[in-house]
Structure 1
Amino acid sequence: MKKLILLFFLMLYSFITFGQYESEEEGLYSRFRPGVMWFYSGLKPYEEEKLRKYDRLMVDVVYNDFYGDRDYFSSPWQSIGVNASLMFDVILTKANTMSFGWGIGYSHFSNRSKLQFTRDLDNKTTLVADFPAGSEPKGSKFGANYIEIPLELRFRTKGHKHFKFMIGGKIGYQLNSFSKQIERIDGKKYATKNYGFPDSNPLRYGATVRIGIRNWAFYGAYYFSPLFTADGSADLTPISVGITLSLF
């Protein structure tokens, strides 16, 4: 996993160094710096009279939940995950009010519901239920990591203080998934992780939306792919809502 994360950030840096501006935007001479490295290519500063490109490195901090066998927004507030996306901003209009975004991303899904994930290896299914009363663990978590390809159609007003609306989707490949339980025995904490769910869905795909101003936005993702694929398994499909920070 550490090697995969290192490879992702090496790819991220290589994408940064190839970002270029293409044409002029009339009347834009602001010296404000609306985000980290906003006017920097990775090699040298951009010329201020060149057309800006936006939302190329984005970080989402999100609340993760399920729908299906579980009600919406029933998971604890600590169910916090993180996404990072490195994207090209392909400008479609001369005034820079519409563009197409595409790139590569990493996503960590984390849900801290006190659910018991049970692997039925004989039937190749995954069952999910509440822990029996009196035997609840100190803490529990379901987690998964993905490499993703995000795609977005982006609309924005003119200038760096722009209002923006982005709608799109993404498809991802699951690197791993696991459940974790924390028990307290004789005053000490013990953690147990389970990997290798027999019908874990390797693909994740869904729709995304962002609405915001300048380098901040509200973010939502509604997925259509369930976590488990067997007919007898739990019906759980992830959703995420949160905030996006565009670093440049």
Structure 2
Amino acid sequence: MKYFLNTLLFVLLTTAAFAQYETVTKTKRPSIPGTFLVDLGINRALNQVDSTWKQGFWGSRTVNVYYQYPIRFGRSKFSFNPGVGLSMERWKFTNGAMLIDTLGTTGNNLIEQYNLLSPRLAYGTEISTKKSMLVTNYLEMPLEFRFDTKPEDIARSFNVAIGGRIGVRLNSFTKVKYKQDDETIKVKDKRSLGLNDFRYGIYTRVGIGGFSWFAFYNLSEMFASGKGPHGRDINSLTLGISVNGF
């Protein structure tokens, strides 16, 4: 319920901000190839029933930056938009837990298995955790089909897009801030953390002109099989706004 109310507040605030935007002069599309798109969103882990996964609402966020090249179908209102860019995700854990390799087992073999546990297991029992975060960065290729009511005047056009994204993980790391003996210490631990190297998902976008709302559902599991918290398969959902630099 709290997540629903926070999401509703997020949508209402962004809608109110866009309602104040007015264009007095008719804007023509610049004669440069392609467009730049920036997504700002909030993340939510799905299929996660473990009580240790307690994420912050505003701290669990996504910033995507894409370049897209629209290919219009003749003189129709439809286009195909391939692109490439970066997806940068942050997952903030409000209970101070961090991903720690606990070495699970498959048959007689030891495998990586990362569970959300107290940083005291890694950095000592005398610490006080201030902040804990998981960071993942991906190189992605979005592919979308888009409908514009006014393709010759994108700045005033209502648009709907649906598509998919495939990506490869560039890096991932945990960031922990804790206090020990009156000294504040920050630690960044860069490793695979049991995450999948590749991911894919579907998304939709609806908006007017250069502003829109989007939803992205990650079809692939966040962690490799058996390597996530308690071996569970975790998918993710991202909701947010997009700004298109047409």
TM over 0.5: yes
Q: Would the aligned equivalents of 2:79 and 2:146 in 1 still touch at CA under 8 Å? A: yes
User: For residue 117 of structure 1, what is the amino acid of its counterpart?
Assistant: L
* Comparing 212-221 and 65-74, the one that deviates more: 65-74
User: For residue 81 of structure 1, what is the amino acid of its counterpart?
Assistant: T
Instruction: Give the corresponding residue for 1:85.
Output: 66
Instruction: Give the corresponding residue for 2:160.
Output: 165
Q: Would the aligned equivalents of 2:36 and 2:245 in 1 still touch at CA under 8 Å? A: yes
RMSD of aligned Cα (Å):
2.8
User: For residue 164 of structure 1, what is the amino acid of its counterpart?
Assistant: N
User: For residue 33 of structure 1, what is the amino acid of its counterpart?
Assistant: T
Instruction: Give the corresponding residue for 1:33.
Output: 27
TM-score with structure 1 setting the length = 0.72
Would you say 1:94 and 2:75 are equivalent positions? yes
Instruction: Give the corresponding residue for 2:190.
Output: 195
Q: 1:225, CA displacement in angstroms?
A: 1.4
Q: The residue matched to 2:30 in structure 1 has which SS?
A: coil
Where do 1:75-224 residues align within 5 Å?
75-95=56-76, 97-114=77-94, 115-121=97-103, 122-129=110-117, 137-158=129-150, 159-160=153-154, 161-197=156-192, 199-224=194-219
Q: Would the aligned equivalents of 2:99 and 2:193 in 1 still touch at CA under 8 Å? A: no
Unaligned runs of 5+ in 2: 1-23, 104-109, 121-125
Q: Would the aligned equivalents of 1:65 and 1:240 in 2 still touch at CA under 8 Å? A: yes
Identity %: 26
Q: Would the aligned equivalents of 1:104 and 1:148 in 2 still touch at CA under 8 Å? A: yes
Unaligned runs of 5+ in 1: 1-29, 43-52
Q: 1:126 to 1:74 in 2, by over 3 A?
A: closer
Q: Would the aligned equivalents of 1:90 and 1:100 in 2 still touch at CA under 8 Å? A: yes
Q: 1:232, CA displacement in angstroms?
A: 5.4
Instruction: Give the corresponding residue for 1:59.
Output: 38
Q: 1:93, CA displacement in angstroms?
A: 4.1
State the distance in 2 between where 1:120 and 1:215 align: 46
Q: Would the aligned equivalents of 1:125 and 1:230 in 2 still touch at CA under 8 Å? A: no
Q: 1:189 to 1:130 in 2, by over 3 A?
A: closer
Q: 1:40 to 1:73 in 2, by over 3 A?
A: farther
Q: 1:170, CA displacement in angstroms?
A: 0.3
Q: 1:197 to 1:125 in 2, by over 3 A?
A: farther
TM-score with structure 2 setting the length = 0.73
> Following superposition, which runs of at least 4 residues in structure 1 exceed 6 angstroms of deviation?
none
Q: The residue matched to 1:138 in structure 2 has which SS?
A: strand
